[in-house]
Structure 1
Amino acid sequence: MKRQVVLAITAVSLAVLLTACKERPRETSPAPAASAPLAAAPAADQWLGQWNGPEGTFLELKGGGGRYEVTIQNLDGPKTFPATASADGIGFERDGVKESLRATNGADTGMKWLADKKRCLTVRLGEGYCRD
């Protein structure tokens, strides 16, 4: 009987210790939605200006502080889109598709005309713009 009591006490003590050591979720207030673009803004602000692609295409980035305007000149003419800074670059919506503008090198654009460039912005593989 004495042994059973000791075992029961040991089992309860272990259960209490394991519960006390269990990681609890942190109680933090969620960050406001506007803080994410502002946190990424300093890096994206360095991209302001014109970036050139092949055959007269270009991307122009205006604005700053997390809010931007992306103008893309392709063979169909220029189109402008509102954009915001995000964790991975600058996000915008084009023709109902969410796009993300990110820093790459020429090879990562997937375009042979830009392969030797060092400072580029890529929307997707096969669509990139660089500065010499």
Structure 2
Amino acid sequence: MKKTLLLLSTLALLSACNKEAQDNKPVPKVPPASVQATLVPETLPTDKWVGQWTGVEGLNLTISKDDTIGRGHYVLTMQYGLDADDSGTFKGVATEDGISFTRPDGPQTLRAGDGEATGLKWLADKKNCLVVNSGEGYCRP
């Protein structure tokens, strides 16, 4: 009986020590927002898209930064359809998927892709493209 009591006491002490050791683990600190902001890359991947892009049959896209609003904001000037009404200038914002913007045909996202992703045979061999939807893409040489 004494051996059982001694064994149970020893186990209780060991488990208490183990819990105390877990409680003393260092807790990872999250840096304040001001420090986290400096951890984000200075150049966003979408910043590399700034400039002119060419589609087919006169379709085109020009992307410029909108520094008046802030980092990750863009102005997209585009001819996105064959009709004269299918053109305009739209404000865009960088997202995880690309640049999101809204035009008369609804919300859109401009994504990186290649010529095949555009769905257009005239751009199929291109490697550096931006795609809105299959059938609408813009590439650089």
**How big is the shift at 1:130?**
0.9
**How big is the shift at 1:35?**
7.8
**How big is the shift at 1:53?**
1.3
How far apart are the structure 1 equivalents of 2:76 and 2:27?
43
After the TM superposition, which residues 1-132 of structure 1 pair with which residues of structure 2 at under 5 Å, given as runs?
A: 1-21=5-25, 24=27, 26-30=29-33, 39-41=42-44, 43-63=45-65, 66-73=72-79, 74-76=81-83, 77-95=86-104, 97-132=106-141
The answer to whether the Cα contact below 8 Å between 1:103 and 1:120 also exists between their aligned partners in 2 is yes
Counting matched residue pairs gives: 129
Report the secondary structure of 2:57's partner residue. helix
Question: Identity across aligned pairs (percent)?
Answer: 38
**AA at the equivalent of 2:30:** E
The answer to whether the Cα contact below 8 Å between 1:37 and 1:84 also exists between their aligned partners in 2 is no
**How big is the shift at 1:70?**
0.5
TM-score normalized with structure 2 length: 0.68
Q: Higher relative contact order by CA 8 Å / sep ≥ 6: 1 or 2?
A: 1
Larger displacement relative to structure 2 (4-13 or 110-119):
110-119
1:89-113: CA deviations, max 9, x gaps?
Answer: 3232334844332322211223222
Gaps of 5+ in 1: none
For the pair shown, which has the larger CA radius of gyration, 1 or 2? 2
Please identify which structure carries the higher strand content.
1
Q: Spell out structure 1 runs of 4+ moving beyond 6 A.
A: 34-38
Cα RMSD between the aligned structures?
Answer: 3.3
How far apart are the structure 2 equivalents of 1:16 and 1:95?
62
**How big is the shift at 1:78?**
0.9
